[in-house]
Structure 1
C-alpha cells in the first residue's frame, strides 16, 4: 500500500481511479493526519505550479556541442597479456590434471586377467600425496579451474559480439 503522501500526490496529479479518489476524499474529511498532510501537499503543489520553468539559452546546445568537439575522442583501452604467462598457467593446470589422473590410475587394483596374460606391477609409493592432499587444496584447484573457464567463456562471447558492434560511419 502507498503511503499517505504518495496517495495524496496521485490524487492531486489525477493519477487515481474514481474509487481511489472517493476513498481519499473521505479520508481527508474524516482523519486529521490525512487532513494536515493534504493541506501541506496541496500548498506545495500550488507553489510548484506557479513557478516558471527555467530554460537554457538558445545557444546552449551549440555551445555544449562545440566543447564536446574539442574534447579528444576516447580510445578503448586494451590490455595485452603476455602469451608466455598464459602458457605457463595452462601448463601448470595440465600438469595438475595429469597428476590427478596418474594418482587415480595408481590407486586402482587390477582384478581382471586377460586370457592368460597377467599384468604384474608394483604400485608406486604415493604416500607423500596424503600429506599434500586436502579438501581445501581440492576446492582451491576447482575454484581456479572455474575462474579460468568463466574467463574463457567471456572471451568466446565477446568474440561473437565483436562484429555486430562495429561503429557506423
Structure 2
C-alpha cells in the first residue's frame, strides 16, 4: 500500500499547487486524488481472484484498467457521477490523476526492464522501466510526504 499512498500524496501536491497558484478550482483537488487511485482498481480484481477468466464463454481481463484506455474509461464512468455542469472538468481531473499514476509507475523496478503497455489502446509499445523503486519501498512515501505536507501547510496559511 505505500505505492497507492504515494500516488495520492503526489497528486494532492500537484493539484494543490495548481489550485493555489492558478485559477484551477479548489473543489477538484480531491477529484485529482481519486483519479490517482483509478489504475489500481485492477488490484481489487486481483485480490478478489477475478482479474481474468470467462463469463458465459466470453473471456475478460481487468488488466487493461492499468493503462491509458482504462484511465479514460474509469474517468468517464466517474465523471458520470458528477452533476452535468461539472462533468468535463471532473473528467479532466480524474484523467489527470490517472495519468500521473501511470507516469509514476514508469519508475517501478521491473525484472525485464520494460514497463507495461501503458499507452494501450493507442499502441502496444512497452516503455523502458525507470527501475528507481519497488512498489513496496517506503522511501517514496517519505518523499511524497515531504512534498505534500509543505503544499498543504502553504495552502492553509496563505
Larger RCO (alpha carbons 8 Å, 6+ apart): 2
TM-score (norm 1): 0.25
Task: Point out the structure with max Rg over C-alpha.
Answer: 1
Query: Structure 1 or 2: larger helix share?
Result: 1
Structure holding more strand per residue: 2
TM-score scaled by length of structure 2: 0.26
